[in-house]
Amino acid sequence: MKAFDRILLSLNRWLVIVILAAMALMVFANVALRFLTDASILWVEEVSRYLMIWLTFLGAGLVLRYGGHIGIDNLQDAFPRQAHFIRALIFLLLLGFFSFMVWIGFRYAALTWGQTTPVMEIPVGIVYLAMPVGFLLLIVHLLLMAGPYIAKRRFIVDAEFDPESVKI
């Protein structure tokens, strides 16, 4: 289980790194091209938008592991003795919501599979799949963190990501 978790975290991390790097490279190339030649690659705007959507849903699970989704923790702080019951409730609510999103997400992707995107003419379902896949990943991360989270509100801690940094 530990080995599986380590591989999952590492894969998930590299996935978001590559997506963000690809987005930056292609949008920059397009700006440079527009300035130098007055032309631009049509599909860049579309593909970079879709990559951003995938990045959001693939990254959401990792953020959850770090305790980086902003929320209001005052209730748990106010009732330290009952806090693990509150967190168990949050866990169940999240599990239910994530499961629903996986189901509706797959349905939506399947329903729209026949439509294609304006420029690339690929099935829009490829974009919409990001949501159910992302929420499936969220479920996996939620289950992996459940024990330490419910008992002690413990998340992954390392120097790379400070959960406070998401408060823009």
Partner 1 sequence: MIAVLFIGCIVLLAIGVPVAFALGGGTLAAILYNGTMPLIALPKYLFSGMDVFALLAVPFFILAAELMTGGSLSEVLLRFASQFVGRFRGGLGHTNILTITFFSGISGSALADAAGPGAIMIRMMRKDGYHPEYAAALTAAVSILGPIIPPSISMIIYALVYPDINLVGLMVAGVMPGILIAVAMAIINHVISVRRNYRGVKQNLTVQDYWRNTWKALPALLLPAIILGGIAFGIFTPTEASVVAVFYALFAGSLIYRTLTWAMLPGILARSALVTASVLIIVAMSGAFAWVLTVSRVPQQLTELIVSMNLSPIAFMLAVNLLLLAFGIFIEPLPGIVVLVPILAPIAHALGINDLQFGIVVIVNLTMGMITPPVGGLLFVTSLVAKVPLMKMVKELWPFMYAQLVVLAMLSLIPAISTWLPNLFGYH
Listed in sequence order, the residues at least 6 apart from 9 whose beta carbon sits closer than 8 Å to its beta carbon are 62, 65, 156
Looking at the DSSP assignment, which residues form a beta bridge with residue 116? 123
- The per-residue DSSP string of 101-114 comes to HHHHHHHHHHHTTT
Nearest-5° angle of CA 154, CA 156, CA 161?
A: 125
Q: Is residue 156 a contact point for partner 1 (CB under 8 A)? A: no
Identify residues 30-49 at the interface with partner 1 (CB under 8 A). Answer: 31, 45, 48-49
Q: Which amino acid is at 59?
A: G
Supply the angle between the helices 130-152 and 83-111 in degrees, to the nearest 10. Answer: 170
Closer Cβ to partner 1, 4 or 89, answer by number: 89
Closer Cβ to partner 1, 4 or 97, answer by number: 97
Tell me the CA distances in angstroms from 84 to 48, 77, 79, 95, 99, one per residue in order: 41, 11, 9, 16, 22
Q: How far is the CB of 26 from partner 1 (least distance, A)?
A: 9
**Interface map 76-115 toward partner 1 (x if CB under 8 A):** x---------xx-xx--xx--x--xx--xx-xx--x----
Q: How far is the CB of 124 from partner 1 (least distance, A)?
A: 9
Closer Cβ to partner 1, 90 or 122, answer by number: 90
Q: How far is the CB of 4 from partner 1 (least distance, A)?
A: 20
Q: Which two tokens stand for residue 52?
A: 């951003």
Identify residues 134-153 at the interface with partner 1 (CB under 8 A). Answer: none
Q: Which two tokens stand for residue 115?
A: 């439509």
Binding site for partner 1 (CB under 8 A): 13-14, 16-17, 19-21, 23-24, 27-28, 31, 45, 48-49, 52-53, 55-60, 62-64, 66, 68-76, 86-87, 89-90, 93-94, 97, 100-101, 104-105, 107-108, 111, 127-128, 131, 160-162, 164-168
